Structure 1
């Protein structure tokens, strides 16, 4: 979805800002981290690890910046240096745990978290970062409930140790917020503000709560309050921009205004950060969130010229797929997936690569990629709908039916149309090349479900149930008429229409012809046979069964 199409290219031209002389205190470095000025923070902290090389805290916060920038290997190296300085450094063990957690190494993470809390004693700060660690590896931008509960448990212990540690209170608020427990989240943010009224981050976090409640005016009020505390607090502008995007998506009447405001707010955010490569990557994240795929492809293409960060290839793959530039998408996707560390690959990567491959007629590769997406994240059951569609197009009907059945059993988004596709797939599998009656049973099960759930009779479903029943009635020398009630119902439903398409005329004629055959051979009722074949011919003069019947009868009953 194109939501930020008017984002100015001036954003890309902003130059690095910031003072050439940084304050060298740890507190100033922490303020830079909070303001998302990561390059500035790293410069100060690297200096501090040299000038104050015996203080393990300096190493921890440097490592923490690397975690925030998604460089976990660099983070681990720095945390281990902090432990070398102080073997009992609870903070650096917490950092190692967070890095392992982000890398999906839960066993190592748990061991390091336990070591951190053991060494922490009554110091609440390591608990705060252990708690944040449990929030650091969301899936599809959602923190798993079990991880959130683990965070809340450890942060509650920290709060009991030191009720006035604002880091703990903010982290606890964030943990509750990930699970939409907004009352508890607000309570902790307010508690932090009562201790330190100048916590701009607490105001921003409160604004985010209102954003997800779609109370955008209250969000803006909180962001403005944060900027009243600190006019240079960049995260307030970033969250304000993302709120404007959500507002635009929620209210089409406000879309144009809010898209422009989002652009302005994000420009301010970038100007207040250090415009490092990481800031531009965060800008790319914003473009993903906003659905501005054209701008994202432009940004990612420019970044790819100078950046060695493989994540740029991910952005190129996503944006190129959305922009239907499939060769570029496949090239970027293959680069990302083959060169990035396996732990960095997420389900969405295979999802986009698979879509680009299928769109490029590389169906087998595409289906394999979509299956890998599901293997990485079983909440991505929707991929089986796409797999089913691809297999059906390749006339691999039984596999298509299986894919739709899997989709419907695992996804909460399945519709009656998906049941129709499942049933059609199994029916065609039987009809084309595999006379296995279990396929007919599966097909009819899907069609039957639609008949039970639909509020009114669905003509195509009735017709396919007739086809299935007729296929079961294979012995033409001993016809049972299994399809008769379905064809009669189809005639009743279609006959009620005031006008028919050419396709409906042909299927209606086929229904009459079936009944004609039934009465001629099963019931031996020549009058009803002639009556139905006549209706078949009147509806579709080219109907082969009707033509054959009247040919056999020497043209008898013509026109009656």
Structure 2
């Protein structure tokens, strides 16, 4: 789910009526930003930077639009022009800090944020944008707690200076919401609405809180309230669409209805924007959120024919992979990763790149890409599960076992099946034909199987069988048999005889268990009666069992016929 990226980059970009503006035309531009009509806003602001070239605010808001569109280099150019016009422009220093923060240059961001606050004095507008800046570089769609706390700290300072700055109140509400501190978030949204009841953006932000609390009816109420204030307020339709998708995913009974509604709401949103390339890219974001990969591939393919924004190839790669169009996915992701600025490539990109490479039988490259995904974002521990499966398919069993170990150690999603696969991998990594086989592999395998045995709600035959086989590896000398595998094979027999044997594989495994017991009584206990009894059972359940056949052949075929 996209928990923050759209909110931090779009809702946080909403411009509120409290800030001081120098002319109605700038106010119109800010209203266009608020409505996410970015092309319209840019056109107006570019004109203002010419006709009112001495006003640093014009350059700031132009740069802010570029930030929202993820064009940080263009944003920095605009902010620097604003500083050239007014070297004491707190807003433009705040903008430079935001652009640096988005580019993951936190040292430069901090320097510029501090300068903005110093120059701002008691004017809280710059504080508001510094606070927003801290929220605009989420990892895995979540704002880091430290970044959110930094935002909350600076915004509370601004609130102390001016408790009626709705821009500050709304940004503070969003900062709290990113950390699921919904009571504090709602308090600030309500404070903003008490000052200006016509803030459609505050109603939308309140609806977003209810969305993530899965209180979808309350979300809809807030979005409708926003549209009652302004029937053409596009962001309300966008958030309503995403709420419908979340509702559909949470309630299968409502899925078909809510997905249809989501599409309708998003079409309304697009009709209220400027239908620019950026609008289409936001539509692509929505399709990712909705998991509509077929439509996304169509949209991304069309955009790739005309757009100069390389981000199109990210969408195309994601969609093509999910649609099992691996050649297209591989080509698109290769274009994105090799041509985009490195700072724009995220862990998820390498995750999809690795998956596409593995699906295209480029396993070594795929594993390297998955490792890169983990290096960029250590919360992506699930990549180790995918690496393990690839290693196993290549019969690199020890590496598969190690990858499962890393997955189970670092991820919270590991299941008993993953422990079983780990044991299975280490078991097959053990090669008894080597002069000095690595017995630690058997220990690792047995540890994994033992964990499954302890945690499973009921006995699992295969787990006990492999523990028996591991023990038997240590018991190969028939002239000095220790019987290490005996309790495991006996337990396996008990488990499997509780019901009719389901298939030929189970019958062969049961024959293996009885044959081991036959050998135990033959060589360890020297009890021919017990040996014959177990070899007989082995032959009955699996007439092809070589140990049983060999035993009776040695006895002249007199027994067990």
Structures share a fold, TM > 0.5? yes
Residue 472 (structure 1) aligns with:
474
Distance 2:228 2:432 in 1: 71
Which SS does the other structure have where 2:430 is aligned? helix
| Contact 2:102-2:137 at 8 Å conserved across structures | yes
| Contact 2:72-2:99 at 8 Å conserved across structures | yes
**Among 522, 546, 551, which residue is 2:548 paired with?**
546
| Contact 2:57-2:91 at 8 Å conserved across structures | yes
Residue 484 (structure 2) aligns with:
482
Residue 535 of structure 1 and its aligned partner are, at CA, apart by 0.3
Residue 409 (structure 2) aligns with:
409
Distance 2:147 2:464 in 1: 48
Matches within 5 A, 1:359-370: 359-370=359-370
Count of matched residue pairs: 538
1:284 to 2:284 alignment: yes
Matches within 5 A, 1:177-326: 177-326=177-326
Distance 1:171 1:419 in 2: 45
Residue 19 (structure 2) aligns with:
none
Residue 515 (structure 1) aligns with:
517
Residue 494 (structure 1) aligns with:
496
Distance 1:244 1:549 in 2: 69
Distance 1:393 1:521 in 2: 39
Summarize deviations over 1:162-210 as a string: whole Å, max 9, x none. 1011110000000111111111110000000011111000000001111
Residue 55 (structure 1) aligns with:
55
Residue 444 (structure 1) aligns with:
446
Question: Structure 1 residues 94-103 or 450-459, which shifts more?
Answer: 450-459
Residue 506 (structure 1) aligns with:
508
Distance 1:453 1:493 in 2: 16
Distance 2:519 2:24 in 1: 94
Residue 7 (structure 1) aligns with:
none
Summarize deviations over 1:321-365 as a string: whole Å, max 9, x none. 000000000000000000000000001001111111111111111
Residue 382 (structure 2) aligns with:
382
Residue 122 of structure 1 and its aligned partner are, at CA, apart by 1.0
TM-score by length of 1: 0.95
| Contact 1:242-1:286 at 8 Å conserved across structures | yes
Distance 2:62 2:116 in 1: 17
Residue 290 of structure 1 and its aligned partner are, at CA, apart by 0.2
Distance 2:382 2:268 in 1: 38
Summarize deviations over 1:199-223 as a string: whole Å, max 9, x none. 0000000011111111111111100
| Contact 1:233-1:272 at 8 Å conserved across structures | yes
| Contact 2:478-2:519 at 8 Å conserved across structures | no
Residue 167 (structure 1) aligns with:
167
Summarize deviations over 1:467-507 as a string: whole Å, max 9, x none. 11111224333221111110010000001113431110000
Distance 2:447 2:45 in 1: 65
Distance 1:531 1:438 in 2: 35
Residue 535 (structure 2) aligns with:
533
Which SS does the other structure have where 2:63 is aligned? helix
Distance 1:109 1:409 in 2: 35
Summarize deviations over 1:424-456 as a string: whole Å, max 9, x none. 111100047662001111111111111111121
Distance 1:507 1:113 in 2: 69
| Contact 2:501-2:507 at 8 Å conserved across structures | no
Distance 2:173 2:432 in 1: 59
Residue 133 of structure 1 and its aligned partner are, at CA, apart by 0.5
**Runs of 4+ in structure 1 displaced over 2 angstroms?**
431-434, 472-477
Summarize deviations over 1:244-283 as a string: whole Å, max 9, x none. 1111111122112111111111111001000000000000
Unaligned runs of 5+ in 1: 2-22
Distance 1:267 1:406 in 2: 44
Question: Structure 1 residues 146-155 or 494-503, which shifts more?
Answer: 494-503
Evaluate the alpha carbon distance shift between residue 433 and residue 285 of structure 1 in structure 2; reply closer, same or farther with a 3 A threshold. farther
Residue 8 (structure 1) aligns with:
none
Which SS does the other structure have where 1:536 is aligned? helix
| Contact 1:24-1:47 at 8 Å conserved across structures | no
Distance 1:50 1:267 in 2: 35
Unaligned runs of 5+ in 2: 2-22
Residue 300 of structure 1 and its aligned partner are, at CA, apart by 0.3
